[in-house]
């Protein structure tokens, strides 16, 4: 049996097709688990639980192997890799989905084969029924913290399952539109309170260029986004944000309000690099110290 890393992510590894005001890319390495794991690897070793098809390029695997990322749970099945095609117009906060091909994801049954449960687990944006299957596999004294993500499609079509997942995790990441859709509340504080009562101790609502909101029983905290002159490709920003947050927490080996607040600041910084180029290109250029430099700038901006 394999010794687990402190953190694992269950999500998608994809081949994307993107169009933004800055250009068109026919083939981009994407997927929630790809962005998450690459971002988290700046802080700790991370394992990927996902599936790809026979068409998955070897150079994409090598991109993940550049970092301290365990790919022992990256399955290869006959067929094609998950594919998403989308575009961004003037409003770079919102993606317009043009095509989604689940492909091998339709037959994906995640199985955790580590010698013991990893301490930190992130359920990225996949079918909530799959998230529940994973939750049934990760339990025991070694498990410290589980967080999840979701999206409007699952909230609309599998709302009950989404709520079941929320009842079994310590934290949830979702954007402001998803929070309002799930709760029926226009006010984000009320929406966060509603979600908090469903189960998660920490509710993290992403607001794109306007930062993030953290809700817990200890209070509400608002975080600004790092100011950027140009946003080139927002795809993967939310997954990179979550990767930065969870990577920092896993490295700290503990979760409390203090570590969570610092983790969200780092998540925001990691995401600020992701959006500066297509796919993972920008994250492949940066080093850990680059995050600290931007964090110091953000601290100065926020100082009263």
Tell me: the pLDDT tens digits for 14-62? 999 988 887 788 899 999 999 999 999 999 999 999 999 999 999 999 9
Query: For 282-300, what is each residue's pLDDT tens digit?
Result: 999 999 999 999 999 988 8
Domain that holds residue 45: 7-302
- What sign has the CA pseudo-torsion 154, 214, 277, 108? negative
What angle, rounded to 10 degrees, do the helices at 32-40 and 257-274 form?
120
The pLDDT value recorded for residue 191 is: 97
Higher pLDDT, 199 or 225: 199
Q: What are phi and psi of 137, to 5 degrees?
A: -95, -20
Whether residue 111 is predicted with pLDDT greater than 80 in this model: the reply is yes
Rg from Cα positions in the chain:
18
Whether residue 304 is predicted with pLDDT greater than 70 in this model: the reply is no
Give the pLDDT mean for 148-172: 95
272 domain-assigned: yes
2 domain-assigned: no
141 domain-assigned: yes
Whether residue 4 is predicted with pLDDT greater than 80 in this model: the reply is no
d(CA 177, CA 93): 11
Chain-wide mean pLDDT for the chain? 92
The pLDDT value recorded for residue 303 is: 72
The pLDDT value recorded for residue 117 is: 87
What total of structural domains would you count in the chain? 1
Query: For 204-260, what is each residue's pLDDT tens digit?
Result: 999 988 899 999 999 999 988 888 888 888 889 999 999 999 999 999 999 999 999
pTM of the model: 0.95
d(CA 9, CA 148): 10
The pLDDT value recorded for residue 1 is: 57
Give the pLDDT mean for 111-126: 92
Residue 245 in tokens: 């947050």
The pLDDT value recorded for residue 24 is: 84
Whether residue 163 is predicted with pLDDT greater than 60 in this model: the reply is yes
Closest to 86 (Cα-Cα) out of 279, 282, 287, 284: 279
Asked if residues 267 and 204 have their Cβ atoms less than 8 Å apart, the reply is no
CATH of the domain at 80: 3.40.1190.20
- The helix (run of H) or strand (run of E) holding residue 165 is helix 159-166
Q: How far is CA 79 from the centre of its chain?
A: 25
287 domain-assigned: yes
d(CA 276, CA 272): 7
pLDDT band at 2 (very low <50, low <70, confident <90, very high): low
pLDDT band at 93 (very low <50, low <70, confident <90, very high): low
1 domain-assigned: no
In angstroms, the Cα distances linking 272 to 14, 34, 265 are 21, 17, 11
The beta strand positions in 137-267, using DSSP E, are 145-149, 171-175, 202-206, 212-216, 219-223
The pLDDT value recorded for residue 91 is: 67
């Amino acid at each position: 049996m394999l010794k687990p890393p402190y953190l694992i992510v269950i999500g998608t590894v994809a081949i994307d097709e993107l169009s933004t005001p800055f250009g068109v890319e026919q083939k981009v390495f994407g997927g929630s688990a790809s962005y998450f794991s690459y971002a988290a690897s700046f802080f700790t070793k991370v394992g990927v639980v996902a599936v790809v098809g026979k068409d998955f390029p070897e150079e994409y695997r090598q991109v993940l192997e550049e970092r301290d990322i365990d790919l022992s749970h990256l399955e290869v099945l006959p067929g094609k890799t998950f594919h998403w095609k989308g575009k961004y117009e003037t409003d770079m906060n919102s993606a317009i989905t043009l095509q989604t091909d689940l492909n091998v994801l339709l037959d994906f049954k995640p199985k955790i084969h580590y010698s013991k449960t990893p301490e930190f687990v992130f359920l990225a944006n996949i079918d909530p029924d799959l998230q529940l299957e994973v939750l049934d596999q990760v339990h025991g004294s070694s498990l410290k913290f589980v967080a999840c993500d979701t999206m409007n499609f699952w909230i609309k079509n599998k709302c009950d399952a989404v709520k079941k997942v929320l009842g079994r995790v310590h934290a949830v990441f979702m954007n402001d539109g998803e929070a309002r859709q799930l709760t029926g509340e226009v006010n984000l504080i009320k929406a966060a309170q509603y979600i908090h009562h469903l189960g998660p101790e920490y509710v993290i609502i992403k607001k794109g260029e306007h930062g993030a909101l953290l809700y817990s029983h200890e209070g509400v905290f608002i975080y600004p986004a790092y100011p950027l002159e140009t946003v080139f490709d927002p795809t993967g920003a939310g997954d990179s944000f979550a990767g930065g947050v969870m990577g920092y927490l896993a490295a700290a080996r503990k979760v409390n309000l203090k570590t969570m607040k610092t983790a969200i600041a780092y998540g925001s910084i990691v995401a600020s690099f992701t959006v500066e180029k297509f796919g993972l290109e920008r994250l492949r250029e940066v080093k850990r110290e680059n995050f600290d430099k931007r964090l110091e700038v953000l601290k100065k901006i926020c100082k009263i």
